[in-house]
Amino acid sequence: MIILWAITYFLSNIFIKNWLRLRERARGQA
């Protein structure tokens, strides 16, 4: 159970970081 939570937290962390980076890049180009 704890392992599953850790994996979900890790994946969501990467997803949020990439999403913020893409949003900043899009805003900069626009």
Distance separating alpha carbons of residues 16 and 24, to the nearest angstrom? 12
**Residue 30 pLDDT class (50, 70, 90 cuts):** low
Tell me, what's the pLDDT at 6?
A: 98
pTM of the model: 0.59
Size of the chain, expressed as the number of residues it contains: 30
Q: What band does 11 get if pLDDT is binned at 50, 70 and 90?
A: very high
Q: Tell me the average pLDDT across 3-24.
A: 97
b/e burial code for range 2-20 (CB count within 10 A of at least 16 → b): eeeeeeeeeeeeeeeeeee
What token pair was written down for 28? 């900069």
CA distance 27 to 12: 22
